[in-house]
Amino acid sequence: MQAPDLKMSEKEKKILDAAIAVISEKGFSAASTSEIARQAGVAEGTIFRYFKTKKDILRGILIHLGNVIAELLVVYGLKKILYQDGREDLRAGIKLVLKDRMAMIDAVFPMLRIVITEAMYHEDIRQILYDKIISRSVEVFEEYHREMVEKGLMKREIDAVVAGRGILGNLVLFFVYRNLFGPMIQLDDYDRELDQVIDAIMYGIAIPAVGDKK
């Protein structure tokens, strides 16, 4: 349950950091080991003392992300926010989570971009991603969802997976829209837009017909 990253030597950490920077900039295939070495301030041969192959570096990044993010941020962060601040007030809880997650995604975006990209192409990477991050996040949210349903704050008839995916889907597109396409479009006020997103998540975009309660 503890992070196995701790047994990383200082040099290994420097190589990993450099690898994250370079690969996140150019993509895995376009990133050369020589540039990673230069950025890390070590000889190229040194890299292969710590990572047998280039693909092993990618695995190292994934594991690193899994440990740092999944353990420290996803689980701990979600639990703290949802259970402490968002226990009574669903709207406040969701808003906190969304803001928190936006900042988090921003912070780990270099790593995240690498992992997402490679997960699109390689099943083995996808499997690690699922085991290390997704499945655990689902567990946490399921617990929260169960409690909210019991409290009468969330709909019982919508599964936790569907509900959680809805939140995440809105969050992801919100992030993409703002951070990737931001320069190309006129952006609305951040908080105003976020409030709308939360409204959409919580109460939907449709006006219920009089006869059609569900």
Partner DNA sequence: ATGTTGAGTGAGTAATCACTCATTTTTGTG
Partner DNA sequence: CACAAAAATGAGTGATTACTCACTCAACAT
| Residues making contact with its own copies (CB under 8 A) | 25-30, 90-91, 113, 116-117, 119-121, 123, 126-127, 130, 134, 152-155, 157-159, 161-163, 165-174, 177, 180-181, 183-185, 188, 193, 196-197, 199-208, 214
Chain-centre distance of CA 133, in angstroms? 8
Give 12 or 101: the residue with its C-beta nearer to its own copies. 101
Structural element, H or E, at residue 91? helix 90-121
Give 10 or 88: the residue with its C-beta nearer to DNA. 10
207 binds, options its own copies, DNA, none, Cβ within 5 to 8 A by partner type: its own copies
Q: Which of 3, 8, 42, 202 lies at the binding interface for DNA (CB under 7 A)?
A: 42
* Cα distance between residue 54 and residue 45, in whole Å: 12
Shortest spacing between CB 67 and DNA, in angstroms: 21
Task: Quote the Cα angle for 104-107-109, to 5°.
Answer: 100
Task: Mark 50-79 with x for binding to DNA (rule: CB under 7 A) and - for no binding.
Answer: --xxxx------------------------
Which residue type does 2 have? Q
Shortest spacing between CB 117 and DNA, in angstroms: 15
Task: Quote the Cα angle for 143-70-101, to 5°.
Answer: 80
- Residue 152 region by backbone torsions, left for phi larger than 0, else alpha for psi between -120 and 50, else beta: left
With CA atoms as reference, report the closest residue to 144 among 95, 86, 202: 86
Question: Is 122 one of the binding residues for DNA (CB under 7 A)?
Answer: no
11 binds, options DNA, its own copies, none, Cβ within 5 to 8 A by partner type: DNA
